[in-house]
Amino acid sequence: MDAMPSGTDSKKKRRSQLAHFLRSRRAGLSPEDVGLATAGRRARVGLRREEVAVLAGVSASWYAWLEQGRPIKVSDGILDAISRALRLSELERVHLYRLADSNPPLPVSTPAPSDPEVFQRLVDTQLLGPSCVIDRYWDVLAANESAVDVLRLNRDGNHNFLTSLFTGSHGEQYLNLPRVARQMTARFRLQASYGADDPRYEEMADHLSRSDPRFAELWDRHEVEEFVPTAVELHRPDDGRLPFVLFAMDLDEAARTRLLVYLPPGVAGPPSAWQ
């Protein structure tokens, strides 16, 4: 049995992830995005470290140490200032807190209006569409016959939803695979942040990065995203294009098991909230 990483190794790994996350978000912003004036052409896209430091109200050298993964203590106030400087979303701010080994605040967001009819249709008809249960690592724990047939999932106890999306026959079923792959990678990245000390997430990411350059590129974006109703299009040789709306339901928050249900658009209701 593999030994768990020591506390020192775990913190070092998290600091490295924090540094990568900060650099990736800095690279995605321009001076114009944050209200800074520029003179002439710049050699590189993105903000400079010095510019982020000014916006966050910290010294340039201190911020450079943070991006270098040095073992420095960061207060919640500074994390919030960096979040504002980098224009982070609420989810990204929570992700930043976790990477900085700080207790993350709850996301501040406006809850979406609930539709009891949609929920009722979901529980009444969930087994009519492809449905499966995945665990915290996205291993498939259960799948109905439709999921086996349409999604090419299996129930042999050795099948992973994300791995098969990139390297198996599962991914071949999606007509809009690039968008689905991006969304699922961002959702898995958020899942992995809940278990920052668990080596299996890094092992999975390393394996998939070596196996598929598409995953490597998406993983390096360091995007995080929650599960929300998502429009997907599947291909069937006999039936052609099959549209679905993918819903996710948490079954056990502690175990992080999740029910994934693919519902036909007519069952899922109006498409106003689908991504």
State whether 86 and 187 are in the same domain: no
Q: How confident is the model at residue 187 (pLDDT cuts 50, 70, 90)?
A: very high
Q: Are residues 265 and 220 in the same domain?
A: yes
Looking up tokens 């004036």, which residue turns up? 37
pLDDT above 70 for 121: no
Please indicate, yes or no, if residue 108 is contained in any of the structural domains.
no
Answer yes or no: is 1 within a domain.
no
- Could you tell me if 266 and 173 lie in one domain? yes
- Number of structural domains, the chain? 2
Tokens representing residue 196 in the block: 């920052």
Q: What pLDDT, on the 0 to 100 scale, is given for residue 41?
A: 64
Residue 221: closest CA among 182, 179, 265, 168: 182
The residue type of 250 is D
Last residue of a domain, one of 99, 128, 149: 99
Whether residue 109 is predicted with pLDDT greater than 70 in this model: the reply is no
Q: Identify whether residues 92 and 138 lie together within a single domain.
A: no
User: Is residue 148 located within the same domain as residue 95?
Assistant: no
> 88 with 134, same domain?
no
pLDDT band at residue 195 using 50, 70 and 90 as cut-offs: confident
What angle is formed at CA 167 by the lines to CA 162 and CA 172, rounded to 5 degrees? 90
Asked if the structure places residue 109 within a domain, the reply is no
Question: At residue 107, does pLDDT exceed 60?
Answer: no
Domain identity same for 223 and 146:
yes
Query: Average pLDDT in the 23-35 region?
Result: 87
Domain-embedded: residue 173: yes
Residue 90: give its domain's CATH number: 1.10.260.40
**What pLDDT shows up at residue 164?**
93
Please check the confidence at residue 120 and state whether its pLDDT lies above 60.
no
- Domain range holding 247? 116-273
Q: Is residue 127 part of a domain?
A: yes
124 with 257, same domain?
yes
Whether residue 131 is found in the same domain as residue 207: yes
CA distance 83 to 77: 10
- Per-residue pLDDT for 84 more than 80? yes
Q: What are the φ and ψ backbone dihedral angles of 139, each rounded to 5 degrees? A: -70, 140
> Does residue 92 sit in the same domain as residue 148?
no
Question: Is there a domain that residue 34 lies in?
Answer: yes
Domain assignment present for 38 = yes
CATH code of residue 242? 3.30.450.180
Which has the higher per-residue pLDDT, 190 or 10?
Answer: 190
Do 142 and 261 belong together in one domain?
A: yes
The residue among 99, 125, 160 that closes a domain is 99
In a domain, 107, yes or no: no
Supply the pTM of this predicted model. 0.71
Share of the chain above pLDDT 90, in %: 36
Do 221 and 169 lie in a common domain?
yes
Indicate if the pLDDT at residue 213 is higher than 90: yes
Strand order in the sheet with 140-143: 140-143, 131-134, 257-263, 240-252, 230-236
Residue with tokens 């944050």: 34
- Helices 90-99 and 7-27 meet at what angle, rounded to 10? 150
Contact in structure between 186 and 224 (CB atoms under 8 Å): yes
The candidate with the shortest Cα–Cα distance to 152, out of 132, 135, 128, 136, is 132
Average pLDDT of the residues in 37-65: 83
pLDDT of residue 42: 66
Last residue of one domain, picked from the residues 68, 99, 130:
99
**Is pLDDT at 39 greater than 70 in this prediction?**
no
What whole-number distance in Å separates Cα of residue 57 and Cα of residue 82? 9
